[in-house]
Amino acid sequence: LGKAVCDMFEAVFGTENAKTIIEFYENRYIEMTQEVLPFITTVIIPKITEINKENRARIKKKYVNRLTRK
């Protein structure tokens, strides 16, 4: 569990920030997961989804504009 949580935090927050979080919780992985995971699921994931939609729309617009010019 500890390795999986650490890897997930590194992927989301970056190596240095994940290290800070892990040191703060002193390797209490269950408590750390209970307190930080809701932030990831309610703030980070929706923001990533929003950015992904914006990127898709931007790419689609470029593609459509390119087709209409030809």
Task: Give the closest residue to 24 by CA, choosing from 13, 56, 50.
Answer: 13
Render pLDDT for 35-57 as a digit per residue (tens, 0 to 9). Answer: 999 999 999 999 999 999 999 99
pLDDT at residue 70, as a whole number? 58
0.85 surpassed by pTM: no
pLDDT at 65 over 80: no
Tell me the C-alpha distance between 24 and 19, whole Å: 8
